[in-house]
């Protein structure tokens, strides 16, 4: 999900910011797959870890803006896509859905570990905002969750550019 962007980060970030939230709209044609969204949740988990690690680098206020948006988005993904999708897949069997959720969680943990190796510094990266934006294009929350996600993405970009 996260991709190495080196010098292109600055150009892409300017384009991203100029799209007026990052290209999100309320019209999503197809329900995103559980596989896509578990990858998105892994990026969110990674942002939450970076938020904890970067408390000595960024202000508490900035960290809270980042966390509020990604945590709301995580709840949206879980409640609107992952859980219903798993239940549908197993014909409504809660025990089977829970067993699949555990597999999803193990897979997400592996992704988070690879992100930690790729991005070891205690700071945010524009790549993270880009990945979350790509996720949000596939699964767009509404209302406060959308506004909080927008604020979170903009703050991640701002903080990443400051280092």
pLDDT tens, 103-159? 999 999 999 999 999 999 999 999 999 999 999 999 999 999 999 999 999 999 999
Question: Does residue 96 lie in a domain region?
Answer: yes
**How much is the pLDDT for 31?**
79
Q: Considering the domain boundaries, does residue 13 fall inside one?
A: no
pTM for this model (two decimals): 0.81
Q: Is residue 19 part of a domain?
A: no
- 49 neighbors 94 (Cβ within 8 angstroms): no
Within a domain: residue 16?
no
The domain containing residue 129 runs over which residues? 33-161
SS (H, E, C) 39-63: HHHHHHHHHHHHHHHHHHCCCHHHH
pLDDT at residue 15 is higher than 80: no
Average pLDDT of the chain is 85
- Cα torsion for 49, 51, 53, 58, to the nearest 10°? 170
Q: Is residue 21 part of a domain?
A: no
- For residue 163, what pLDDT is reported? 79
Between the alpha carbon of residue 161 and those of residues 6, 87, 116, the distances in Å are 12, 41, 19
Q: How many domains does the chain have?
A: 1
- Tell me how far apart the alpha carbons of residues 67 and 70 are, in angstroms, rounded to a whole number: 5
Reported as a single tens digit per residue, the pLDDT across 35-55 is 899 999 999 999 999 999 999
Which residue's entry shows tokens 């990052």?
A: 22
Q: Rounded distance, CA 42 to CA 109, Å? A: 7
* Domain assignment present for 102: yes
Whether 46 is in a domain gets the answer yes
Q: Cβ(149)–Cβ(136) under 8 Å?
A: yes
In a domain, 7, yes or no: no
């Amino acid at each position: 999900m996260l991709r190495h962007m080196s010098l292109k980060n600055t150009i892409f970030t300017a384009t991203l910011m100029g799209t007026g939230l990052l290209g999100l709209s309320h019209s999503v044609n197809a329900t995103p797959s559980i596989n896509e969204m578990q990858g998105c949740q892994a990026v969110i988990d990674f942002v939450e870890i970076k938020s904890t690690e970067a408390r000595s680098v960024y202000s508490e206020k900035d960290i809270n803006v980042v966390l509020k948006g990604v945590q709301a988005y995580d709840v949206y993904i879980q409640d609107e896509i992952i859980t219903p999708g798993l239940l549908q897949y197993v014909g409504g069997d809660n025990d089977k859905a829970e067993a699949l959720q555990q597999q999803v969680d193990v897979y997400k943990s592996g992704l988070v570990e690879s992100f930690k190796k790729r991005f070891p510094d205690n700071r945010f990266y524009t790549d993270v905002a880009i990945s979350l934006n790509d996720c949000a294009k596939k699964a767009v929350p509404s209302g406060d969750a959308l506004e909080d996600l927008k604020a979170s993405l903009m703050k991640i970009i701002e903080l990443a550019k400051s280092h």
